[in-house]
């Protein structure tokens, strides 16, 4: 599968004729939000070949620990940026890419405020559909998905956690999250042989949500480690499932 994905990269930057509707299309835009006295950059993808830019859904992508920094998550160099650019072409949605600061985690107060300000700013700028806000996170970002889901359950329409886990570090780590997110449709992915984030993190979260009569799907991949996101990229039903959800 990796070879098939890499073979497509030569076509990633082909020019498409875009229909102008007064707002940028098919572009990755740079934006900033201020939290306290500090400015944080984030990126926004606006889909191309759309008739209207109003009432579009918004997907927030929370990256993993290695992508922390302040230079922007999506660059012209590197495999991650090329993969994201390729798949963005298939998504009829605005996609927000916040970047977690070095030494921070998504559940930290400043990062939480930064992400939510970026979401609100994006919804306002593009007149987005407030009932279709979705969170996708990988690894550290998967932990962030559960954090934001538990903090803003009424505003989020779907959660996708990939090799993540509970942001609660002590005591009852899963049920307090499950009690808050069980009404949000969730799809969880994990590799059974993950040596970085134990598969028990997703298993126990899913079990806790099910005990709370929650709406959760779970795919576990035998023989797969922490790079389970390669498997997730081949899940054809994921994007239609996400975009069908409403809060």
HSE toward the beta carbon, residue 34, CA cutoff 13 A: 2
Please give the Cα distance from 245 to 7 (Å, whole number): 32
Q: How far apart are CA 117 and CA 96, in angstroms?
A: 11
Structure tokens at 56: 């579009």
pLDDT digits (tens), the chain, 247 positions:
333 333 322 232 222 323 334 566 778 899 999 999 999 999 999 987 665 667 899 999 999 999 999 988 887 666 666 777 777 888 999 999 999 999 999 999 999 999 999 999 999 999 999 999 999 999 999 999 999 999 999 999 999 999 999 999 999 999 999 999 999 999 999 999 999 999 999 999 999 999 999 999 999 999 999 999 999 999 999 999 999 999 9
The pLDDT assigned to 74 comes to: 84
CA distances for 214 relative to 22, 147, 202, angstroms: 41, 16, 14
Quote the pLDDT of residue 4: 36
Reading the block at residue 109, the tokens are 């107060």
Q: Which two tokens stand for residue 155?
A: 């505003």
**CATH homologous superfamily of 30-243:** Alpha/Beta hydrolase fold, catalytic domain (3.40.50.1820)
User: Do 58 and 133 touch, CB atoms closer than 8 A?
Assistant: yes
d(CA 231, CA 191): 9
What tokens were used for 84?
Answer: 């994201």
C-alpha closest to that of 139 among 201, 81, 221, 84: 201
Q: Looking at residue 1, what DSSP letter applies?
A: -
Report how far residue 130's alpha carbon sits from residue 217's, in angstroms, rounded to the nearest whole number.
Answer: 24
**CA gap 110, 115 in Å, rounded:** 9
Helix segments in the chain, DSSP class H: 2-7, 79-88, 109-125, 140-151, 175-181, 199-211, 229-233, 238-243
Give this prediction's pTM. Answer: 0.88
User: Which residue ranges make up each domain of the chain?
Assistant: 30-243
């Amino acid at each position: 599968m990796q070879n098939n994905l890499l073979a497509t990269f030569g076509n990633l930057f082909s020019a498409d004729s875009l229909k102008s509707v007064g707002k940028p299309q098919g572009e990755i835009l740079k934006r900033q939000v201020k939290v306290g006295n500090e400015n944080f950059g984030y990126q926004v993808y606006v889909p191309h070949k759309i008739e209207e830019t109003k009432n579009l859904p918004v997907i927030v992508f929370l990256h993993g620990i290695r992508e922390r920094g302040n230079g922007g998550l999506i660059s012209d160099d590197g495999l991650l940026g090329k993969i994201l650019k390729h798949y963005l072409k298939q998504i009829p949605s605005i996609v927000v890419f916040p970047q977690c600061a070095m030494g921070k985690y998504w559940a930290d107060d400043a990062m939480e405020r930064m992400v939510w300000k970026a979401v609100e700013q994006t919804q306002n700028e593009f007149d987005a559909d407030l009932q279709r806000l979705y969170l996708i996170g990988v690894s550290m970002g998967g932990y962030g998905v559960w954090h934001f889901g538990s903090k803003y359950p009424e505003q989020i329409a779907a959660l996708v956690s990939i090799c993540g886990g509970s942001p609660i570090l002590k005591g009852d780590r899963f049920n307090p999250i499950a009690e808050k997110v069980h009404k949000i449709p969730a799809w969880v992915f994990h590799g059974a042989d993950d040596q970085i984030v134990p598969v028990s993190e997703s298993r126990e979260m899913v079990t806790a949500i099910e005990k709370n009569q929650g709406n959760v799907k779970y795919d576990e991949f035998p023989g797969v480690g922490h790079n389970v996101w390669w498997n997730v990229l081949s899940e054809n039903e994921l994007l239609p499932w996400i975009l069908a959800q409403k809060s």
